């Protein structure tokens, strides 16, 4: 009874301690590492630099220690773990010249590897560009300023600070229009990126040409597709088809000429009922909208998906739970009809974010809550421009085929089940499309499968981002087997009877298709040190005080993966019981490690390396800290 009481007291005291501390990692600069060695003496911290000693002790520090004491890699030796009583003191560390970077454990600092206009004022990333994997695509190419995408529209703000110099040619047709629609479309396609203003755009360095004025838009399509060098035209407009319509007949003959010129037309599918095209009420299918709905090799019809909310997030506006990949109702698309969405029908080819997206508006203004397939189409057109920058020989037909064949299937999401076959091949995956385009032109013939250490790990070895805790976004754990829908972890509630589910995402980051013989090893360890021992002694478990501190969970085959393709593996796991670890420092904390084994993509070995050295040095290894609660 007595020992039971003591452990209860210990539990509560450690809990209150945890509530009053804030954890950070900081990295000393390479120069200052020579002069600063931090160690504890009595209750204060000492550094070889007395000025630095005074500084650290003035910040109510609870603890400083080397984050990876056994690491061999020089950079890892400069990283310290810091525990502060008051989080506001972190500002002092940010300003210190000896400190290269400081970041909180759960707040990844991505500013070094992303464009400087990728984040809003609150530090939130551009979720639409996250979703289409734009940052990964930009690792392959940021586009080419000699590639010009045509836009057929009415009017735009040529002096907008985030567009200036981007529109290299303008064709005026008819009288001037007051429309601002072209500003929004051009911004979504290729707003100036990494200029510290406004937003980033998928097209990055891509340039544009635009037709403006009050005129027939189909005439604009004809004019712009004649410009030598233009191989992609964006049409964020359209009209309903009727075989009797003179206007459609005119467009029929123009689109035929555009095809002969080998120009790709990326067209908005339409904004649902508001477009007033005939709707099949029974089937809930929208009527055809042109040019989007032409069944041609050089025309792509683009509808929308959301980009913003995690699945199950209820929004007051739609009175529904939505998700970033859902083609879903929104209240603006027309006339309060509950099931109305942006246009979906059997002519739609692909979907891209078009709900709650960022746009440019005239007079240097911006908006972050915009909707419309007018914004979805330019994301596809901008991706096509990146593809041309790595493979200028691609035809319109090839561009379309690659974009469709590399799209991510989103029909398995419950919110999209009712749209089966009506929102195209899936959601745009810019990374996979651009990589595939590049691989058609050149390949080094080497396989490279990856699992990421952090969101800003693009497979480059070693990983040198600022996410010091290596919180892999490619490993997550769920209480139920729903992890292919919800790709983030939750706190696991221990159960004696039920298995929990680990999810592991593997991506083929090379031009070589994998064989299907590659596999993963999955380990768990109580602490990072336990994990290191478990990994080293292969399949053997080791015991201390009759406690299991880690073991291999499973070995699993990786299916054949095409360039840029990913797979999510689902692994059931009977978790350890955290109650058995109640006398350890962090009873609920456990670690998972994934190792990719492949004859063609071998893990780098160095006998001096600790596990942490190996994890950052090789993209075949990643780990994740997880929590298992007692009930």
Give residues in contact with Ca ion (CB under 5 A).
Answer: 117, 162, 191-192, 195, 197-198, 448, 453, 601, 615, 619-622
> Residue 115 CB, nearest distance to Ca ion (Å)?
8
d(CA 71, CA 532): 12
Helices of type H across 337-496: 373-390, 396-405, 430-441
Structure tokens at 178: 């007051």
User: With respect to Ca ion, which residue has the nearer C-beta, 102 or 621?
Assistant: 621
Torsion angles phi and psi, residue 566, rounded to 5: -125, 160
Place of tokens 């599918």: 269
Q: SS3 for 112?
A: coil
User: With respect to Ca ion, which residue has the nearer C-beta, 391 or 528?
Assistant: 528
> Residue 117 CB, nearest distance to Ca ion (Å)?
4
Helices of type H across 459-563: 528-536
> Residue 174 CB, nearest distance to Ca ion (Å)?
31
> Residue 624 CB, nearest distance to Ca ion (Å)?
11
Q: How many C-beta atoms lie closer than 10 Å to residue 306's C-beta? A: 26
> Residue 516 CB, nearest distance to Ca ion (Å)?
16
> Residue 23 CB, nearest distance to Ca ion (Å)?
22
**CA-derived radius of gyration, the chain:** 27
Structure tokens at 106: 């759960």
- CA-CA-CA-CA dihedral for 315, 317, 319, 321, to nearest 10: -30
> Residue 613 CB, nearest distance to Ca ion (Å)?
11
DSSP letters spanning 226-271? TSTT--EEEE---EE--TT-HHHHHHHHHHHHHHHTT-EEEEE---
User: With respect to Ca ion, which residue has the nearer C-beta, 252 or 461?
Assistant: 461
- CA-CA-CA-CA dihedral for 531, 535, 537, 539, to nearest 10: 110
Query: With b meaning 16 or more CB within 10 Å and e meaning fewer, what string describes 5-24?
Result: eeeeeeeeeeeeeeeeebbb
Structure tokens at 472: 């892999």
User: With respect to Ca ion, which residue has the nearer C-beta, 153 or 448?
Assistant: 448
User: With respect to Ca ion, which residue has the nearer C-beta, 222 or 448?
Assistant: 448
> Residue 621 CB, nearest distance to Ca ion (Å)?
5
User: With respect to Ca ion, which residue has the nearer C-beta, 228 or 445?
Assistant: 445
User: With respect to Ca ion, which residue has the nearer C-beta, 227 or 603?
Assistant: 603
Terminal CA-to-CA distance of the chain, rounded, Å?
Answer: 22
User: With respect to Ca ion, which residue has the nearer C-beta, 110 or 615?
Assistant: 615
């Amino acid at each position: 009874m007595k020992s039971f009481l003591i452990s209860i007291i210990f539990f509560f005291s450690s809990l209150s301690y945890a509530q009053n501390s804030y954890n950070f990692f900081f990295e000393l600069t390479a120069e200052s590492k020579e002069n600063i060695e931090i160690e504890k003496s009595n209750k204060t911290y000492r550094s070889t630099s007395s000025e630095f000693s005074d500084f650290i002790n003035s910040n109510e520090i609870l603890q400083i220690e080397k984050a990876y004491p056994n690491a061999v890699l020089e950079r890892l030796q400069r990283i310290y773990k810091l525990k502060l009583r008051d989080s506001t003191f972190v500002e002092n560390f940010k300003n210190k010249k000896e400190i290269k970077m400081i970041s909180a454990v759960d707040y990844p600092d991505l500013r070094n590897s992303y464009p400087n206009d990728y984040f809003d004022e609150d530090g939130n990333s551009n979720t639409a560009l996250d979703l289409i994997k734009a940052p990964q695509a930009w690792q392959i190419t940021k586009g080419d300023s000699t590639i010009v995408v045509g836009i057929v529209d009415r009017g735009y703000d040529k002096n907008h600070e985030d567009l200036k110099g981007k529109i290299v040619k303008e064709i005026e047709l008819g009288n001037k229009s007051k429309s601002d629609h072209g500003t929004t479309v051009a911004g979504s396609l290729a707003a100036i990126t990494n200029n510290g203003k406004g937003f980033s755009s998928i097209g990055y360095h891509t340039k544009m040409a635009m037709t403006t004025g009050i005129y027939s838009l189909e005439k604009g399509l004809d004019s712009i597709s004649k410009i030598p060098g233009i191989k992609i035209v964006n049409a964020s407009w359209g009209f309903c088809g009727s075989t009797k319509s003179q206007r459609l007949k005119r467009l029929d003959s123009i689109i035929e000429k555009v095809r002969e010129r080998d120009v790709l037309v990326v067209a908005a599918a339409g904004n649902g009922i508001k477009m007033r095209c005939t709707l099949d009420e029974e089937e809930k299918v929208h009527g055809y909208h042109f040019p989007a709905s032409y069944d041609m090799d050089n025309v792509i019809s683009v509808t929308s998906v959301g980009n913003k909310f995690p699945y199950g997030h209820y929004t007051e506006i739609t009175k529904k739970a939505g998700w970033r990949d859902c083609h879903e109702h929104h209240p603006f698309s027309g006339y309060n009809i509950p099931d109305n969405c942006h246009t979906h029908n059997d002519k739609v080819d692909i979907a891209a974010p078009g709900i709650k997206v960022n746009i440019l508006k005239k007079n240097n203004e911006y908006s972050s809550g915009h909707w419309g397939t007018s914004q979805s189409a330019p994301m596809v057109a901008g991706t096509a421009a990146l593809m041309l920058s790595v493979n200028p020989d691609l035809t319109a037909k090839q561009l379309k085929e690659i974009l469709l064949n590399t799209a991510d299937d989103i029909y398995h999401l419950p919110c999209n089940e009712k749209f089966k076959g009506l929102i195209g091949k899936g959601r745009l995956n810019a990374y996979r499309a651009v990589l595939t385009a590049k691989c058609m032109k050149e390949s080094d013939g080497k396989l490279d499968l990856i699992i990421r250490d952090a969101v800003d790990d693009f497979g480059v070895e070693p990983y040198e981002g600022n996410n010091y805790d290596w919180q892999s976004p490619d490993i997550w754990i769920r209480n139920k087997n729903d992890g292919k829908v919800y790709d983030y972890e939750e706190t696991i509630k221990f159960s004696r009877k039920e298995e929990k589910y680990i999810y592991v995402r593997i991506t083929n980051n090379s031009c070589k298709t994998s064989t299907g013989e590659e596999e993963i090893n999955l380990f768990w360890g109580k602490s990072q040190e336990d994990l290191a021992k478990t990994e080293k002694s292969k399949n053997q478990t080791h015991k201390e005080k009759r406690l299991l501190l880690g073991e291999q969970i499973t070995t699993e085959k990786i299916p054949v993966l095409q360039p840029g393709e990913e797979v999510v593996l689902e692994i059931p796991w009977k978790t350890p019981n955290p109650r058995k670890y109640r006398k350890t420092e962090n009873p609920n904390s456990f670690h998972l490690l994934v190792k990719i084994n492949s004859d063609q993509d071998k893990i780098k070995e160095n006998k001096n390396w600790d596990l942490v050295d190996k994890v950052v040095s090789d993209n075949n290894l990643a780990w994740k800290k997880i929590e298992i609660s007692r009930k």
